[in-house]
Amino acid sequence: MRAYLYDNLDTDCREPHEQNPSVPVSVEELEASGVLYWRLKDENFEDQIDKICADRNYKNRDQITVSKQGLGELFDAKIKTFFAEHLHEDEEIRAILEGTGYFDIRDKQDRWVRIKVEAGDLIVLPAGIYHRFTLDSNNYLKAMRLFKEDPVWTPLNRPCDEYPYRKAYLNVIEAN
């Protein structure tokens, strides 16, 4: 995982979009926005996930392969939905199993922070944070999705500042 400020250029979102010079964003800064991160080691991969699930009460899981082959005829529509700025009522928890991709989140100052993820990264985006996802030029990412009960991943596109999940998120973040 590596995080940095997005350059806001209007080119292909699969490009790195890193500023020059780069402006890195630390794990601590991500935490201030409510984003959690774990690096999973290759050995006992499942055990580490099981522990995080037990600690955080994630009871269920499934897998998604974000690729042309994995999503079939839904690919173009899904990719578009993922990259529209949105939030969810629930946390978005992803353990990256294979491949690479970018989660972009809005920081406290409403700037885009790009988080490059790869196999072995586990990331939690809190409920109510504005974010988006894109593949990079490798066009392939396989992830485990973790969730507490039934997942509510319906994307609520910005603006949805009046939703209780958004307000609750801002209240938590303000305290950080």
Residue 105 · residue 130 · CB < 8 Å? yes
Closest distance between ligand KMT and the C-beta of residue 107, in Å? 17
User: From the CB of residue 52, how many other CB atoms can be counted at a distance below 10 Å?
Assistant: 18
- Rounded to 5°, the CA angle 63-64-69 comes to 135
Q: Is 133 in the site for ligand KMT (CB under 6 A)?
A: yes
Which one of Ni ion, ligand KMT, none interacts with residue 64, CB within 5 to 8 A by kind? ligand KMT
Which one of ligand KMT, Ni ion, none interacts with residue 107, CB within 5 to 8 A by kind? none
- Residue among 23 and 68 whose Cβ is closer to ligand KMT: 68
Q: Is 143 in the site for ligand KMT (CB under 6 A)?
A: yes
CA dihedral 91, 34, 4, 45 (to 10 degrees): -60
For residue 134, the cross-strand partners are 102
Amino acid at position 71, single letter? L
Structure-token pair, residue 69: 């082959």
Is residue 17 part of an annotated ligand binding site?
no
Which one of Ni ion, ligand KMT, none interacts with residue 165, CB within 5 to 8 A by kind? none
User: From the CB of residue 30, how many other CB atoms can be counted at a distance below 10 Å?
Assistant: 20
Residues in contact with Ni ion by the rule CB under 5 A: 92
Residues in contact with ligand KMT by the rule CB under 6 A: 64, 66, 82, 92, 94, 133, 141, 143, 153, 155
Q: Return binding residues for Fe(2+).
A: 86, 88, 92, 131
